């Protein structure tokens, strides 16, 4: 595994902090199955290489919070490494970072 992709103990603390909020946890759970939980993302093309990404507006509508709170929650999840973001046109899309989630799963199974 590449060193920059390895999650260290401090990063795990940030991840657990990010997961300590019910709405942030719900966002991560909904993004596990984006096709089931969100409408089709018409602005993402196959060439954009960001399949599974969901527009901030659709996430906001689903969680029922204001734009600024939703953006703050998404930023916390992204900074912890649990989400990836990409701007496509005028929209920002988020999806789960499965590599970090697998590392978290391994950490819990081996260390806790």
Q: How far is CA 89 from CA 1, 35, 81, 85, in A?
A: 33, 21, 23, 13
**For the chain, which domains are there?**
3-111 (1.10.10.10)
Global confidence as pTM: 0.88
- Give 97's Cβ-side CA count (13 Å radius): 19
Q: How far is CA 65 from CA 3, 9, 69, 95, 101, in A?
A: 37, 31, 6, 19, 25
Q: pLDDT tens-digit profile of 45-104?
A: 877 889 899 999 999 999 999 999 999 999 999 999 999 999 988 999 999 999 999 999
Q: pLDDT tens-digit profile of 43-54?
A: 888 778 898 999
């Amino acid at each position: 595994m590449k060193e920059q992709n390895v999650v260290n103990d401090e990063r795990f603390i940030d991840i657990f902090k990010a997961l300590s909020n019910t709405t942030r946890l719900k966002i991560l759970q909904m993004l596990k199955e984006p096709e089931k939980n969100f409408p089709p993302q018409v602005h993402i093309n196959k060439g954009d290489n960001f399949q599974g990404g969901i527009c901030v507006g659709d996430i906001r509508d689903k969680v029922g919070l204001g734009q600024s709170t939703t953006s703050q929650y998404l930023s916390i999840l992204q900074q912890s490494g649990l989400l990836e973001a990409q701007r496509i046109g005028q929209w920002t899309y988020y999806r789960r970072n499965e590599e970090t989630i697998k590392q978290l799963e391994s950490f819990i199974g081996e260390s806790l």
